[in-house]
Amino acid sequence: LAGIAVGTVLMTLHEGRLQTLALHRPSQGWHLPFGTVGVREPLRQAAERVVAEQLGAQVDYLEQLYTFGNIVPAQGERQIQVCYYGLVPKGIVEAGGTANKPELAWLSETELGRLPVLEQKIVERAHSRLRGKLAYTAVGFELLPESFTLAELQQLYETILGKRLDKRNFRRRILELGILAPTGEERARARGRPAALYSFKAEVFHSLESRGDILAF
Amino acid sequence: LAGIAVGTVLMTLHEGRLQTLALHRPSQGWHLPFGTVGVREPLRQAAERVVAEQLGAQVDYLEQLYTFGNIVPAQGERQIQVCYYGLVPKGIVEAGGTANKPELAWLSETELGRLPVLEQKIVERAHSRLRGKLAYTAVGFELLPESFTLAELQQLYETILGKRLDKRNFRRRILELGILAPTGEERARARGRPAALYSFKAEVFHSLESRGDILAF
DNA sequence: CCAAAAGTGTTAAAACTACACCCATGA
DNA sequence: TCATGGGTGTAGTTTTAACACTTTTGG
């Protein structure tokens, strides 16, 4: 079907920053991953396929963001662009160009200027959606690997919310919710005391979900 | 452009219930208002136009809800449906069929069964979006006329959130925010003491907006 | 033994909840 | 004068926010 595209804002946490995946092609400059939709293809499936094709990675979390219909490229035809946003744990998609694939890069918020203005707005919308969902859903955990330390989780919240949190209060509240299970393992960093590792108990979270904003910090 | 439609979930408060506007045509039964999008027409403008044409009413508040792409009607072609939701103060759109226009009706939540199942899901999505936005935006006031009583505002919150609120606590909290201005007028009901009328101070609300969930009850 | 990151409790202030009576009006 | 809906304050409880030191490890 002419004029229907899907685009995706893929986000990850890297080096204490929220970063967005962008592609570079000589002909197009920097842009978000996008692609066309098959005539009989469901939209979400198209978005998944486009990400898989262009990045060679599966995305575990993908949600619809917004549909733009006023984007009129130079050519006469109007383009409908259905945008999704996705979250991946740090390091799942490795940046850097390969073979005939376009060059990939994680852009931090200060580097978004490389994108076309319209795409910058899409990314901002994705960021504010993520920020909003952080308090009442478990999206945050989609940005972490299977097991993680409390410090990593806290840093995630601090980065996305853009404010510092008190370590003791954060730990107390998140542990009292009972949504984390200690794995019994520890992770040793270069220096300092090793940190206990935890995994996310999705079932417990969902049982609490009705009384919203349980993760508001 | 073939295969692109806009649909709208128009909601209002009526008789203490959240109601949704539906159309009835002999050929189609009950359905949500929808229409096609002009080749060069922005999506939101198309949604506004469709509402205006079919209902003869301007909608002050209209936001994008979700885009469905997996709705495959009996015919071969796939249909993309970009859905919006809108809020109107009680009584703006009067129900009842006129001339060659389709019949209109406000359906309460218990009457939604008259709609096709897919459209019921769209309406549910609109309701939950509205519920979610109630706490951190001023959407609630879109459902009220220019001036209103505190009892009306409280009933609005009670209806949409589906729970009863304490009158004194509600009044104290909303007045302390400073987002309401007494108009100095009163409204006499059939019986009982007349109620003071207030209007919404949008500027004050927006100055508080940064610290979210200020209208959480 | 020292630098680095992990881990741990208490207290004061603020916010929330529950609760019952008087007031102004029209019929 | 009475029925109806509008309007008002307080006290106990819970939640939040602020705050500093000890522990464990690797170099």
pLDDT tens track for A10-59: 999 998 899 999 999 999 999 999 999 988 889 999 999 999 998 888 89
Is residue A207 helix, strand or coil?
Answer: helix
Interface touch B78/A40, C-beta < 8 Å? yes
Cα radius of gyration (chain B):
19
pLDDT of residue A79: 84
pLDDT band at B123 (very low <50, low <70, confident <90, very high): very high
Classify B126 as helix, strand or coil: helix
Q: Which residues of A touch B213 (CB under 8 A)?
A: 213, 216
Q: Which residue of A has its CA nearest to B82?
A: A67
Residue range A58-105, pLDDT digits in tens: 899 999 999 998 656 666 677 899 999 999 997 776 655 555 577 899
Model confidence at B210, pLDDT cuts 50, 70, 90, reads: confident
pLDDT at A162 over 60: yes
Q: To the nearest whole number, what is the mean pLDDT of chain B?
A: 91
Q: What b/e string do you get for B128-161 counting C-beta neighbours within 10 Å, with b at 16 or more?
A: ebbeebbbbbbbbbbbbeebbbbebbbebbebbe
> Which residues in 184-213 of chain B line strand C, with CB less than 7 A from it?
188, 190-194
pTM of the predicted model as reported, rounded to 2 decimal places: 0.92
Q: Is the Cβ of A16 closer than 8 Å to some Cβ of chain B? A: no
Residue B99: Cβ within 10 Å count: 4
Whole-number Cα distances in Å, B71 to A13, A64, B74, B128 = 35, 16, 10, 21
Distance from CA of B41 to the nearest CA of A (A): 7
Q: Distances in Å between the alpha carbon of A157 and those of A82, A152, A181, B174, B176?
A: 28, 9, 19, 30, 30
- Find residues 178-197 of chain B whose CB sits inside 8 Å of chain A: none
Q: Is the pLDDT of residue A172 over 90?
A: yes
Question: DSSP string spanning A147-194?
Answer: EEEHHHHHHHHHHHHTS---HHHHHHHHHHHT-EEEEEEEE--SSSPP
Nearest to A152 by CA among A96, A213, A91, A63: A91
Q: Three-state SS for B139?
A: helix
Is A168 (CB) below 7 Å from strand C? yes
Tell me, what amino acid is at B160?
A: I
Cα distance between residue B133 and residue B40, in whole Å: 31
Compute the average pLDDT of residues B95-116: 82
Listed in sequence order, the residues at least 6 apart from B26 whose beta carbon sits closer than 8 Å to its beta carbon are: none
Any CB–CB contact under 8 A between B211 and chain A? no
- A1 contact residues in B (CB cutoff 8 A): 2-3, 77-78, 80
With CA atoms as reference, report the closest residue to B140 among B197, B71, B207, B87: B87
Q: What residues are paired with A195 via a beta bridge?
A: A187
Q: Which residue has the higher pLDDT, B86 or B212?
A: B86
Give the distance between the most distant pair of CA atoms in chain B: 62
Structure tokens at B9: 């979930």
Residue A1 has pLDDT above 50, yes or no: no
Mean predicted confidence (pLDDT) in A171-175? 98
Q: How many CB pairs under 8 A join A and B?
A: 59
In the structure, what pLDDT confidence band is assigned to residue B196 with cuts at 50, 70 and 90?
very high
Percent of chain A at pLDDT > 90 equals: 76
Q: What pLDDT score was predicted for residue B75?
A: 62
CA of A94 to C1' of C7 (A): 34
- Report the pLDDT averaged over residues A144-169: 97
Nearest to B67 among A67, A77, A213 (CB): A67
